[in-house]
């Protein structure tokens, strides 16, 4: 769950709540701290509260309750332009009547910087994003990817202590979006800036972040590094939202230490790690990642039969949809490599997975 607030944190949300109508909380008692230099992503579906948190940090929304601190200073009542925070939006928010260089110089002019230093900083920021020769152009003369680079340079030009990014790559095509993910990640690493990034794209969050805060219904469901979120989800929501996930509903019939034995609807049993499940008799949901299922290998504690319903060739692996334990949507990723079993549509084969790769979590429909 969300971390407690730390006194040496650079960004802090301390018991922060937000309501727009005075009744419904869109952010509920948020406690979150991040150190200087971290790249933290707020990830979640639409309406989960992630963008509201970003807007409160930027100063465009006001917290209903609690404190927001930046470098130890409460900023609840400080206007956005005095917080020293860089912002990058999905729609770029560039001034169309200004050249690229003028767009970058604007935040420096507002801060009263001299012409010579402004020009040096603008050129340095353009060079950072490989746009050094584009200062004389207007935004309309640039592609979407180029405009996003300029928006990023404008957020960095005044050396902010903190940069906020709200779905900055959402308008770009897949290939350009993936390229920009790595560029932003490298800029973060090279400059040592602190970044809070908002997205609903889980692969983007896993690629770029030091830690990811997974939001749902105004609450952080889990806050952890990307590999921990994927490999060790705390609950069913995180398991489903991060990556692909097989779900097997069942009932706990025995608990022994870290392991739990679960009765499945087809009468068979499955052994799993007891992560977030009740005692004997309680409903639970078992989560198994598709790449952790072994087809046609040696039998183990969780060995059963699967019938092949669909095969999709995806280059490095075959995505196989099977019927396993009565579930028609059980996915197995079979590596497209020597030594792995070739599957045929309609065949029945043995499938197995390790106990530690099955996590017994809270039941959801």
Question: Is this structure's pTM higher than 0.85?
Answer: yes
pLDDT at 162: 95
Query: Poorest-confidence range of 16-30, 249-263, 333-347?
Result: 333-347
Do strands 348-353 and 85-89 pair parallel, antiparallel, or not at all (unpaired)? unpaired
More confident residue, 284 or 342: 284
Query: Poorest-confidence range of 25-39, 201-215, 325-339?
Result: 325-339
pLDDT at 298: 73
pLDDT band at 365 (very low <50, low <70, confident <90, very high): low
Burial 217-233 (b: 16+ CB within 10 A, else e): ebbbbbbbebeebbeeb
| Mean pLDDT value across residues 201-224 | 95
pLDDT at 176: 86
Cα–Cα distance for residue pair 88/198, rounded to 1 Å: 10
Homologous superfamily, domain 11-236 = P-loop containing nucleotide triphosphate hydrolases (3.40.50.300)
Q: How far is CA 148 from CA 81, 209, 291, in A?
A: 21, 19, 35
Q: Is the pLDDT of residue 29 over 50?
A: yes
pLDDT band at 170 (very low <50, low <70, confident <90, very high): confident
pLDDT band at 222 (very low <50, low <70, confident <90, very high): very high
Burial 126-160 (b: 16+ CB within 10 A, else e): bebbebeebbeebbeebeebbbbbbbbbbbbbbeb
Q: What residues have CB less than 8 Å from 26, skipping those under 6 apart?
A: 18, 19, 20, 47, 49, 52, 218
pLDDT digits (tens, 9 = 90+) for 88-115: 988 878 899 999 999 999 888 888 888 8
Evaluate whether 244 touches 320 at the Cβ level (below 8 Å).
no
Q: Is the pLDDT of residue 197 over 70?
A: yes
How is the chain split into domains, by residue range? 11-236, 244-361
Query: Poorest-confidence range of 80-84, 171-175, 191-195?
Result: 171-175
Query: Poorest-confidence range of 73-77, 144-148, 245-249?
Result: 144-148
pLDDT at 1: 44
| Mean pLDDT value across residues 321-349 | 88
pLDDT band at 339 (very low <50, low <70, confident <90, very high): low
pLDDT at 5: 45
Helix axes 144-156, 115-128, angle to 10 degrees: 130
pLDDT digits (tens, 9 = 90+) for 237-286: 999 999 899 999 999 999 888 899 999 999 999 999 999 998 888 999 99
pLDDT at 161: 86
Q: Is the pLDDT of residue 45 over 90?
A: yes
Evaluate whether 59 touches 97 at the Cβ level (below 8 Å).
no
pLDDT at 7: 53
Could you tell me which residues are beta bridge partners of residue 162? 85, 194
pLDDT band at 6 (very low <50, low <70, confident <90, very high): very low
Share of the chain above pLDDT 70, in %: 97
pLDDT at 321: 96
More confident residue, 157 or 225: 225
More confident residue, 112 or 66: 66
Domain 244-361 sits in CATH 3.10.270.10: no
| Mean pLDDT value across residues 141-148 | 89
């Amino acid at each position: 769950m969300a971390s407690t607030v730390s006194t040496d944190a650079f960004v802090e949300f301390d018991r922060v709540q937000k309501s727009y109508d005075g009744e419904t909380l869109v952010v509920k008692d948020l406690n979150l701290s991040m150190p200087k230099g971290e790249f933290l992503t707020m990830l979640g579906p639409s309406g989960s509260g992630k963008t509201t948190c970003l807007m409160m940090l930027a100063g465009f929304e006001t917290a209903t309750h609690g404190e927001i601190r930046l470098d130890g200073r409460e900023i609840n009542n400080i206007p956005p332009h005095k917080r020293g925070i860089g912002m990058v939006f999905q729609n770029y928010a560039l001034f169309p009547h200004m050249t690229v260089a003028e767009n970058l110089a604007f935040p420096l002019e507002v801060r009263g910087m001299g012409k010579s230093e402004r020009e040096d900083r603008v050129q340095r920021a353009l060079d950072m994003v490989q746009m050094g020769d584009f200062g004389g152009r207007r935004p309309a003369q640039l592609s979407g990817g180029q405009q996003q680079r300029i928006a990023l340079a404008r957020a960095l030009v005044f050396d902010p202590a903190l940069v906020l990014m709200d779905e900055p790559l959402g308008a770009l095509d897949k290939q350009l979006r993936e390229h920009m993910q790595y560029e932003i990640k490298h800029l973060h690493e090279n400059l040592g800036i602190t970044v809070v990034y908002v997205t609903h794209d889980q692969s983007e969050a896993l690629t770029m972040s030091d830690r990811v805060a997974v939001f749902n219904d105004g609450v952080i469901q889990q806050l952890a590094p990307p590999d921990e979120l994927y490999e060790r989800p705390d609950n069913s929501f995180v398991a489903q939202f991060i990556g692909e996930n097989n779900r097997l509903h069942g009932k706990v019939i025995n608990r022994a230490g870290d392991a739990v034995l679960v009765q499945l609807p087809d009468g068979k049993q499955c052994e799993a790690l007891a992560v977030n499940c009740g005692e004997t008799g309680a409903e639970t949901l078992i989560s198994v990642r598709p790449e952790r299922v072994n087809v046609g290998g040696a039998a183990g504690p969780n060995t059963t039969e699967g019938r092949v319903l669909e095969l999709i060739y995806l280059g490095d692996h075959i995505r196989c949809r099977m019927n396993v334990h009565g579930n028609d949507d059980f996915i197995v990723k079979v590596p497209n490599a020597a030594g792995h079993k070739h599957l045929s549509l309609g065949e029945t084969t043995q499938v197995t997975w390790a106990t530690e790769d099955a996590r017994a979590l809270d039941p959801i429909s």
